[in-house]
Chain A
Amino acid sequence: MTTNEVTTPIESEPARETNYLNATTGIMSWLGTLDHKRIGVMYLVSVLMSFFVAGLFAMVIRIELMWPGETIIDQDTYNQMFTLHGAIMVFLVLIPSVPASLGNFVLPIMLGAKDVAFPRLNLFSYYLWVTGAVMAVAAILFGGVDTGWTFYVPYSTTGVDDRGAMDGVFFLTMAVFVLGFSSIFTGLNFIVTIHRLRPPGMTWFKMPLFLWAIYATGILQVMATPVIGITVLLLAVERTVGIGIFDPSLGGDPILFQHFFWFYSHPAVYIMILPPMGIISELISVHSHKHIFGYRFIAFSSVAIAIFSFLVWGHHMFVSSQSPLLNVVFSAITFSVAIPSAVKVFNWLATLYKGSISLNTPMLYALSFIFLFTIAGLTGLPLAVIATDIHLHDTYFVVAHFHYTMMGGALTGMLGGIHHWWPKITGRMYSEVWGRIACGLVFVGFNVTFFTQFVLGSLGMPRRYHDYSGPGWAQETTDLFHSLHFVSTMGSFIMALGFFLTAGYLIHSLFRGRRAPANPWGGRSLEWQCPSPPPVYNFAEPPHVGDCYDFSVLEWDEQEQGYHWRRDLAHDAGEA
């Protein structure tokens, strides 16, 4: 980050204490670090870079769809674009996003611990991620992938003349295998850390809710990911050698692949959404300066969602010749996921009620999350109803629905978390004005982009089509879809502008931002008790553990531009 030596602080500013950023210098001190904070930062940078790449693919897709007919790319390139967009966003961005980056940084500090339980495993899982990313790049170089991110058989087993081909599909499936183990080790590390490294006095029900979410996510990562591991391994062997387990032309069962795939990939969407939900629980409470409402319900709802998520994979397969009885059962269980999700939303709203709400940038993202996630959840219901799903299956309605959960939910939550902990991670404050503007742009752009797609989908626009004109398309249908796609693409430009603005002011803050106080928002969990940025071992002395949503012990310090412990309680707090 900075090249300043410890011994030569910038003259105009007070000398900073040694922290995790400046304790050691040089590129090797980062690449070989065991410090969970540095690993978290490396994850954050890597994940955001992948997000940028996959976002570019998305923009190519959107521009192609702006006009009927071939606009900028042909259909084969289009197939590769949506495959890479999906695969990178899912496996390289969303699954590691919050747990591996923000979770890595914040989790041990929230526990008052020096590090995660297995620091070397933590670094190893980062390098597994890097290996997976390199293999994904190799997949692009070795001819690309056009199977869709789901690798459905027979798309993924045909199209090669010679079965021994080490081509894009092979590399991408093996990348998913490696990335899966990266995710497993992260989840395993966090579960053990939460079990064994909680400080004295912090019982399970005194943990910040973010940790409950990370814990539930860890269970999903550990229990679901091995199944995708063996699935993609079998798929890679099927493609290269031809063992006949999935490929119907060899006597295999392609539906078995779908079962295997969704047995992981449905829990995987909760791996993506649960940690951002945990972030929102923190943001809502801290920025409305009010004790979280219904702590235990929120905590248990995370676990409930994790359990339900293992039992609903069949709702992706309603039209795959699955037995009608199974369809009904999966449909019913899918409805029940709405209960713990709604428990969370209502508790957040109740927390806001009569709170002293500060509309800081993180809070705007949190409110935006609640709005978008509610739409995402409600539009999930028509997809869970078998009759309507038959109409909506594989249309833009599905695309819009999962973008509302994955982007409107997971990514918005992550952006909120980045803005919330940015002062803690970098020690700098970003521009609040630009932050609010960018958040507004992303919110508006997102809704313009994807709400339009709900309309497109319910009118019958199929997903994964690069064109909606020509023989078989009525002219008025083409015109209607053209206007809607055009609006949708305009929205994506607004959203892209918001993201570039965000990148701009965040990078600007690294160099020109005001020094961050230890506690700029008035957070009560332990990470706000150590300096910003934290020292290498997080706490010089054991932090004060208590109710992490009891904000009455904090007061605003005008000079420091941050919160600190009330003077009259300072003797309790373990810091002067």
Chain B
Amino acid sequence: MSHADAHPDFLRHHFHTPKQQFEAGKLGMWLFLATEVLLFGGLFCGYAVWRGNHPEMFKYGSQFLETKWGAINTAVLITSSLTMAAAVTAAQRDNRRALVTLLSLTLAGALVFLGIKYIEYSHKFHEGWFPGMKFYEKPDLQHAKTWDHSKPIIGNEPFTAAAGATGQASQSAAPTRGGPEAEPSTVALAAIGPAGLRPGALEPPQPAHDDHAEAHTTHPLQDPQRPRNAHMFFNIYFMMTGLHGLHVLGGVLLLSWLIIGAVKGRFSAQYFTPVDLGGLYWHVVDLIWIFLFPLFYLI
């Protein structure tokens, strides 16, 4: 093109000025982040509905998450957001050494987060809190510290019509649905509208666990206090933190790519768009975790 000589290397041919290219990239990133928020928004909405339908599951399940690890992870992510923001400034000031250092620190934060997540997940798997029902029976219970071979598994069976109709399958403290006189139905009773309509919803809620010491001496699967399908809490826990973890993993790849570019000196005060956009992405990943942490660990 006639203006080719006036175009810096980083300017793509269909843009007129670097400013136009930067603004286009930034708008595009904001729109993409809006879609990310909406993607997680569906999960948050599902969380709200599910929690409304099964408050006892959430109350029971959330005590098995370790607030300590969650809090550390929150701190790690917020710190990495800070170093990311500083990295953008370093790029704008043409300070390549600071840029590489700060990006590396951010990457380290991401890796620490994933490491802690790994510790948490493997602990959950070890205890038998697998996502989904397909894998549920498979955990290696022999090695779980609190497993007692003489006690049965409680509240584990999927909710079937027969179980719901007779109320015999579950010995848990959760309210049984239907009575012995109810006709067996081919359609499973389940989420029957809002929580207020659930049978037994008017009874005072039973404390899922008064005594924390007891939780550590009884395996969760053998806990008589365990409400029906309590492991379902972990399904939404794994869905939400898992999808977030995938985004952190994406962030790791993105940050590595940025570090390579920074080492090669691709970014400058004139062209720092990728660093800026990567920073935006990282902040949103951070932000989503800031909502996940209290929803699962604290309330």
- Give residues in A with beta carbon < 8 Å to B: 108, 113-119, 121, 163-164, 184, 188-189, 191-193, 195-197, 222-223, 225-227, 229-231, 234, 237, 240-245, 248-256, 260, 321, 537
A115 surroundings in chain B (CB, below 8 A): 13-14
CA distance A164 to B135 in the complex (A): 10
Pair B190/A192 contact, Cβ less than 8 Å:
no
CB within 8 Å for A241 and B14 given contacts A225-B35, A227-B42, A248-B191: no
Closest 5 CB pairs of A and B: A241-B132, A230-B42, A243-B235, A226-B38, A249-B188
Question: Which A residue's beta carbon lies closest to that of B158?
Answer: A250
Assess whether A250 is in contact with B190, with CB atoms less than 8 Å apart: yes
In the assembled complex, which residues on chain B have CB atoms less than 8 Å from the CB atom of A117? Answer: 14, 24, 28
Chain B residues 45-98 with CB under 8 Å of chain A are 45-46, 49-50, 53-54
| Inter-subunit contact B38/A227 (CB<8 Å) | yes
Closest to A218 in B: B31
Q: Would you call B288 an interface residue if the criterion is a C-beta within 8 Å of the partner chain's C-beta atoms?
A: no
Query: Are A256 and B135 in contact, with the CB atoms below 8 A?
Result: no
A-chain residues with CB within 8 Å of residue B232 when the two chains form the complex: 243-244, 250-251
Q: 4 additional contacts, CB 8 Å, given A197-B20, A230-B41?
A: A114-B13, A115-B13, A226-B41, A250-B229
A119 pairs with B14, CB closer than 8 A: yes
1/0 per residue B179-193: CB within 8 Å of A?
A: 000000001111101
| B236 engages A243 (CB within 8 Å) | yes
Known: A197-B14, A248-B190. A243 touches B158 (CB 8 A): no
Rounded to whole angstroms, the CA-CA distance of A115 and B20 in the bound complex is 14
When the two chains form the complex, which single residue of B43, B135, B158, B229 contacts A230, counting CB atoms closer than 8 Å?
Answer: B43
Q: Is the CB of A253 within 8 A of B1?
A: no
Most chain A CB within a 10 A radius of its CB, from B20, B39, B49, B160: B39
- B159 part of interface (Cβ distance < 8 Å): yes
Complex alpha-carbon distance, A242 and B193, angstroms = 21
A249 engages B24 (CB within 8 Å): no
Instruction: Tell which of B28, B41, B42 touches A118, judged by Cβ atoms closer than 8 Å.
Output: B28
A245 and B235 within 8 A (CB)? yes
Using CB atoms, name the residue of chain A closest to B133: A242
Q: Which of A192, A227, A251 contacts B191 (CB 8 A)?
A: A251
Q: Are B36's CB and A226's CB within 8 A?
A: yes
Q: Which of B14, B41, B50, B131 has the most CB of A within 10 A?
A: B14
Complex contact A249–B190 (CB within 8 A): yes
> Nearest Cβ in chain B — how far from A365, in angstroms?
32
Cα distance, A192 to B228, chains bound together (Å): 49
Are A192 and B24 touching (Cβ within 8 A)?
Answer: yes
Residues of A within 8 A of B263 (CB): none
**Are B235 and A113 in contact, with the CB atoms below 8 A?**
no
CB–CB B49/A244 < 8 A: no
Q: Does B260 contact A (CB under 8 A)?
A: no
Q: With the chains together, A251 CA to B36 CA distance in Å?
A: 28
B136 to chain A, nearest CB (A): 9
Cβ of B239 < 8 Å from any Cβ of A?
yes
Interface pairs (30), CB distance under 8 Å:
A163-B133, A164-B134, A188-B28, A188-B31, A188-B32, A189-B28, A193-B24, A196-B23, A222-B34, A230-B40, A230-B43, A231-B42, A234-B43, A237-B239, A243-B133, A243-B235, A245-B50, A245-B239, A248-B188, A249-B190, A250-B190, A251-B54, A251-B190, A252-B190, A252-B191, A253-B191, A254-B191, A260-B42, A260-B45, A260-B46
